[in-house]
Amino acid sequence: DAKTTQPNSMESNEEEPVHLPCNHSTISGTDYIHWYRQLPSQGPEYVIHGLTSNVNNRMASLAIAEDRKSSTLILHRATLRDAAVYYCIPTGNQFYFGTGTSLTVIP
């Protein structure tokens, strides 16, 4: 299974963009990269996923490196409701969530 490395914590000012990095250097060629977030006292929820190309949806954008060894989740304008723990999961590592990145949004 692919191993991931994410910063333990990050801070952002409200209304500013946030770039959450993830290294997954052992990812296999068929693994999708999924991102989830967990709001306080809730279960994780799906954010976005991709394989090779950058992806956009209403919640976020996902930028995937050309060699696929890293990816970045982009929140274009952070809001207080985006304060959560963000998990990056290559689907070869589909069972294991790790500890993720705790995002603090400063008003």
Partner 1 sequence: NAGVTQTPKFRILKIGQSMTLQCAQDMNHNYMYWYRQDPGMGLKLIYYSVGAGITDKGEVPNGYNVSRSTTEDFPLRLELAAPSQTSVYFCASRRQGLIYGYTFGSGTRLTVV
Q: Where on the chain is the footprint of partner 1 (CB under 8 A)? A: 30-32, 34, 36, 42-46, 49, 51, 85, 87, 91-92, 94-100
Q: Cβ of residue 80: shortest distance to partner 1, in angstroms?
A: 21
Q: Which is nearer to partner 1, 5 or 13 (CB)?
A: 5
Q: Which is nearer to partner 1, 82 or 92 (CB)?
A: 92
Cβ–Cβ < 8 Å for 7, 101:
yes
Residue 76: count other Cβ atoms within 10 Å of its Cβ. Answer: 12
Q: Which is nearer to partner 1, 95 or 107 (CB)?
A: 95
Q: Cβ of residue 76: shortest distance to partner 1, in angstroms?
A: 21
Cβ–Cβ < 8 Å for 87, 97:
yes
Cα–Cα nearest to 12, from 87, 55, 76:
76
Cβ–Cβ < 8 Å for 36, 49:
no
Q: Cβ of residue 30: shortest distance to partner 1, in angstroms?
A: 6
